[in-house]
Amino acid sequence: MESLLDVLGSRLERLLGSERVVTDPVRLRTYECDGLTNHRSTPAIVVLPDSAEQVAEIVRECVTAGVPYVARGSGTGLSGGALPRADGVLIVTARMRRILEVDIPGQRAVVEPGVINLDVTRAVQPYGYYFAPDPSSQQICSVGGNVAENSGGAHCLKYGFTAHHVLACEVVTPEGEIVELTADGPGYDLLGVFVGAEGTLGITTKITVRLTRVPETVRTLLAAFESIEAGGRAVSAIIGAGVVPAAIEMMDALSIEAAEAAVRCEYPPGAGAVLIVELDGPETEVAAQFAEVERLCGDAFEIRVAADDAERALIWKGRKSAFAAVGRISPAYIVQDGVIPRTSLPSVLARIDALSDESGVRVANVFHAGDGNLHPLVLFDDAVPGAEERAEKVSGAILDLCIEHGGSITGEHGVGVDKSRYMPRMFTEADLDTMQMVRCGFDPMGLCNPGKVFPTPRLCGEVPGVRRGAHPYEGKADLF
Amino acid sequence: MESLLDVLGSRLERLLGSERVVTDPVRLRTYECDGLTNHRSTPAIVVLPDSAEQVAEIVRECVTAGVPYVARGSGTGLSGGALPRADGVLIVTARMRRILEVDIPGQRAVVEPGVINLDVTRAVQPYGYYFAPDPSSQQICSVGGNVAENSGGAHCLKYGFTAHHVLACEVVTPEGEIVELTADGPGYDLLGVFVGAEGTLGITTKITVRLTRVPETVRTLLAAFESIEAGGRAVSAIIGAGVVPAAIEMMDALSIEAAEAAVRCEYPPGAGAVLIVELDGPETEVAAQFAEVERLCGDAFEIRVAADDAERALIWKGRKSAFAAVGRISPAYIVQDGVIPRTSLPSVLARIDALSDESGVRVANVFHAGDGNLHPLVLFDDAVPGAEERAEKVSGAILDLCIEHGGSITGEHGVGVDKSRYMPRMFTEADLDTMQMVRCGFDPMGLCNPGKVFPTPRLCGEVPGVRRGAHPYEGKADLF
């Protein structure tokens, strides 16, 4: 007996050609997870469309069949936003990889969703421009994925997130229509809600990105402090002075140790924390502000200024390798992603230390210090029974700390499947209902990346409407 | 016999106290229009709530009674976004005028919607900060109105629109619930769609605004050119060189003549166009870039650099008075608001000239040249029969030009009642349906500022859903 998914698979093959449809179980396994590898689920069907029209056809087929679908770019996301459904279709944008237009006078480019983040920069660099969002996965992640997750990066302190660099998106709605969303201009700014909706409001098929001019100059320093607190004070002093560095990154002793073990970055020995501060812009401005930053890092026991690109790359090497490097000092780890007000940095870090001491679970801290985005790496040994659970507990407690300090449960990795259960700690029921309402507007059948972002998947009919009491005009029939 | 609106009026008086409810016909007339004075409609009831809770109660009363309502700040909008309904309630936020919190280390302030734009700046200026959005009405317009219209201003070229300076809004939804919308953080960015939705998605009752540091220095020049084309070339050259001035404003000969007649700004005689270019930022950067701007204005026959604040104010005086000044040279005029790509400036201006010549209708051009936002002032004599219609026709043709060049029908004044009929020229039906879908999610009863933004008011049930053909699985009963 043919199953519903078999029929759908055959129809998709007829529509797209068999080379664009994967149903072979071995090949399907490739897609069972994204960067959040502790959640896995093999999709029933994978499709690799070439065009917006094909994406729209696929979506309409899924809607007609009542089958859920999930879009996937390069699969580098860290919250399981592209985790497939075993009973559904995975729509992979890897074949939609054309840069359609580069408009230098207009400072914009139009790209397909599968285009690799760094390839945008490569295409426009000869003209003195680049694409500003720089997640650490930028060599492999796709612009479509950046749009779904509203990706940040080390330089989003000054340059903002993906949302600030997207001018328009062509989108296949969950009802299979192709629409154009723009930020400026009349009518509703639906681009804002689409970017960062983690693929729950439709699939982007064409993205107009803003291009940023390569700054005249870039200067980078590494400052080594005795303690995290001293480093934190320097961060507050820099921001408080009105300097907006391109990046301020902080690493604690444990993450320095890991980086050292992995890539021999040769950061100053004995540092309790290092800060990497990068300034960019016009030569004259950078020179003046750089001197101020050096002064504000006065408590550092060592400051190294990169004399050239090679030295700059060396300073960044430790930071960029930090996540992977932690593998050298721990068999397994959880990458947490939370946000706190910059001003709470010292107190939250002290509380994380205390959590670690109490539980015996080691935590390495790496963070975008300038915007209060913490990436604690919670270490554990997966060979020890119960160790992962203990690590999960500490990891969750760190999120609680973030919420308690008026922060957020995610800075740039998204909610996905990973953090949907924390949403009610940040939002009231009314807040979540308002979001659901929008979701149900876009996706009345609940087939577009279901099970992500929201804590309790509900059918759209269950979202409460107007709450009425007894009708106050009852009995006043003459009024109507 | 008591009417529905009488009952509602009595209920609102009981809820809010009679001093917060206006039903006297003479007092109601005060509210019959906003800044777009050619549309007038006296509301049935005006309420002046003090708190979010009162706003929520009012909205719930309106929903229960099935009566439409419109929110109004200071009523300075130029597209009729706050035009009342004769059969409805006008909710005026003038009594909600408290600055609730100023958080200098966090660079933010929390204000009620009735707070005057400039009062935010006044409150934080002693600390070296200001609120960046600066519509020309900033001495009287409200922050709530700025949020509804996503207001810009002369300096939005560098600093962006209101949307870029709002971090969170407390909102009373069209169903009378109080929710919190934030831009960053997990879940949907509903703030982006709310800001600029022209009051159709709810009423903001508390706004967290971003504060901007007062720049170290500001330098302003006035450059006089023989022709608009020469001025336009200078604008392109400045932007092309990567300089981002705080403002670049342009005025043509007719608007200069008007300003001269009104405020004796003493701009260089015989100018076909003047440019005002303002740079701000760190002293060293501004000095370097200012020299470059002077060089790029090399075709000007005269350049004046403001030596101090008084001279700077004098340069701005002509520009700031331009709209009102046009009253000196024409009995009546229409303020148009359109956007074109900066690169199309010269060709669109030539077309506007041609339109003016063909029709005999005079057009004075004032614009935010840096971001391609045109404000043509279309002049007419309201004592001459048919003159207004001819002016309207030219004004509409200018919008067509903007659309034809890939621009927009509004840069900063909004769609309101004024331009809803142009929406189908910019958007496909599917695009507009997607916006309607969101509107219907927020406002299923269609009572929140109805008749604005969208070309054809429709009941929510009429918004098309999934378009289905014959069901492809029909006859395959064994599948289900």
Distance between terminal CA atoms of chain B?
Answer: 59
Half-sphere exposure of B108 (CA within 13 A, CB side): 15
Query: What mean pLDDT is reported for chain A?
Result: 91
Alpha carbon distance B165, B167 (integer Å): 6
Domains A215-326 and A330-414 share a fold: yes
Domain B330-442, CATH class in plain words: alpha beta
Nearest CB among B173, B415, B466 relative to A175 is that of: B466
CB–CB of A48/A22 below 8 Å? yes
Q: What is the CATH number of domain B215-325?
A: 3.30.70.2190
- The predicted model gives A124-151 an average pLDDT of 96
Q: A74-78, A229-233, B132-136, B324-328: which range is least confident on average?
A: B324-328
Contacting residues of A for B286, CB less than 8 Å apart? none
- Kindly report the number of other CB atoms within 10 A of residue B343's CB atom: 17
Q: A158-167, A318-327, B209-218, B239-248: which range is least confident on average?
A: A318-327
Judged by CB atoms closer than 8 Å, whether chains meet at B176 and A466 is answered as yes
Band (B240; pLDDT cuts 50, 70, 90): confident
Is the CB of B423 inside 8 Å of chain A's CB atoms? yes
Q: How far is B301 from chain A (nearest CA, A)?
A: 27
**pLDDT in the model for residue B477:** 41
**pLDDT in the model for residue B398:** 96
Return the residue of A nearest to B287 by Cα: A284
Contacting residues of A for B419, CB less than 8 Å apart? 186
Q: How far is B441 from chain A (nearest CA, A)?
A: 5
Contacting residues of A for B192, CB less than 8 Å apart? 163, 183, 189, 191-193
Judged by CB atoms closer than 8 Å, whether chains meet at A181 and B410 is answered as no
Could you tell me where the beta strands, DSSP code E, fall in A1-44?
A: 21-22
Asked whether the predicted pLDDT for residue B470 surpasses 50, the reply is no
- The predicted model gives B413-438 an average pLDDT of 92
| 15-74 of B, contacting A, C-beta below 8 A | 63-65
CATH architecture under which domain A215-326 falls: 2-Layer Sandwich (3.30)
Asked whether the predicted pLDDT for residue B33 surpasses 90, the reply is yes
Alpha carbon distance A149, A266 (integer Å): 34
Asked whether the predicted pLDDT for residue A463 surpasses 90, the reply is no
Residue-by-residue DSSP string for A221-273: EEEEESSHHHHHHHHHHHHHTT---SEEEEEEHHHHHHHHHHH---PPTT-SE
**pLDDT in the model for residue A472:** 47
Asked whether the predicted pLDDT for residue B447 surpasses 60, the reply is yes
Position with higher pLDDT, B469 vs A104: A104
3-class DSSP state for residue B145? helix
- The predicted model gives A77-104 an average pLDDT of 96
Position with higher pLDDT, A475 vs A431: A431
- The predicted model gives A6-22 an average pLDDT of 96
Asked whether the predicted pLDDT for residue B468 surpasses 50, the reply is no
**pLDDT in the model for residue B473:** 55
> Does the structural domain A330-414 have CATH classification 3.20.20.80?
no
Judged by CB atoms closer than 8 Å, whether chains meet at B11 and A471 is answered as no
- The predicted model gives B459-480 an average pLDDT of 47
Judged by CB atoms closer than 8 Å, whether chains meet at B187 and A440 is answered as no
Return the residue of B nearest to A413 by Cα: B186
Q: How far is A37 from chain B (nearest CA, A)?
A: 21
Is the CB of A291 inside 8 Å of chain B's CB atoms? no
Contacting residues of A for B195, CB less than 8 Å apart? 189
Q: How far is A267 from chain B (nearest CA, A)?
A: 31
Residue ranges per domain, chain B?
4-92, 99-213, 215-325, 330-442
Nearest CB among A187, A281, A445 relative to B453 is that of: A187
- The predicted model gives B309-332 an average pLDDT of 89
CB–CB of B129/A240 below 8 Å? no
Give the residue ranges of DSSP H helices in B341-428.
Answer: 345-359, 387-404, 423-426
Judged by CB atoms closer than 8 Å, whether chains meet at B408 and A440 is answered as no
**pLDDT in the model for residue B347:** 87
Asked whether the predicted pLDDT for residue A469 surpasses 90, the reply is no
Position with higher pLDDT, A391 vs A458: A391
Q: How far is B323 from chain A (nearest CA, A)?
A: 22
**Beta strand B45-47 pairing with B21-22:** antiparallel
Band (A240; pLDDT cuts 50, 70, 90): confident
Query: What mean pLDDT is reported for chain B?
Result: 91
**pLDDT in the model for residue A341:** 86
Q: pLDDT tens across A345-383, in order?
A: 888 988 999 999 999 999 999 989 888 999 999 999 999
**pLDDT in the model for residue B458:** 62
**Mutating which of A7, A124, A188 best tests the B interface, going by the most B Cβ atoms within 10 A?**
A188
Is the CB of A321 inside 8 Å of chain B's CB atoms? no
- The predicted model gives B399-404 an average pLDDT of 94
Judged by CB atoms closer than 8 Å, whether chains meet at B189 and A195 is answered as yes
Query: Residues with Cβ < 8 Å from A462, sequence gap 6 or more?
Result: none
Alpha carbon distance A296, A294 (integer Å): 5
Asked whether the predicted pLDDT for residue B52 surpasses 80, the reply is yes
What is the share, in percent, of chain A residues with pLDDT greater than 90?
78
Return the residue of A nearest to B193 by Cα: A189
Is the CB of B460 inside 8 Å of chain A's CB atoms? no
CATH architecture under which domain A99-213 falls: 2-Layer Sandwich (3.30)
**pLDDT in the model for residue A102:** 97
Position with higher pLDDT, B324 vs B369: B369
**pLDDT in the model for residue B467:** 36
Q: How far is CA B44 from CA B41, B198, B282, in A?
A: 9, 21, 53
Nearest CB among A175, A213, A284 relative to B285 is that of: A284
Residue-by-residue DSSP string for A392-453: HHHHHHHHHHHHHTT-BS-SSS--TTTSGGGHHHHS-HHHHHHHHHHHHHH-TT--BSTTSS
- Kindly report the number of other CB atoms within 10 A of residue B264's CB atom: 11
**DSSP state for residue B344 in the 8-state scheme:** G
Judged by CB atoms closer than 8 Å, whether chains meet at A441 and B441 is answered as yes
Nearest CB among B1, B282, B439 relative to A288 is that of: B282
**DSSP state for residue B475 in the 8-state scheme:** T
CB–CB of B149/B449 below 8 Å? no
Judged by CB atoms closer than 8 Å, whether chains meet at B187 and A213 is answered as no
Nearest CB among B173, B213, B453 relative to A242 is that of: B213
Residue contacts between A and B (CB atoms, under 8 Å): 234
Topology (CATH level 3) of domain A4-92: 3.30.43
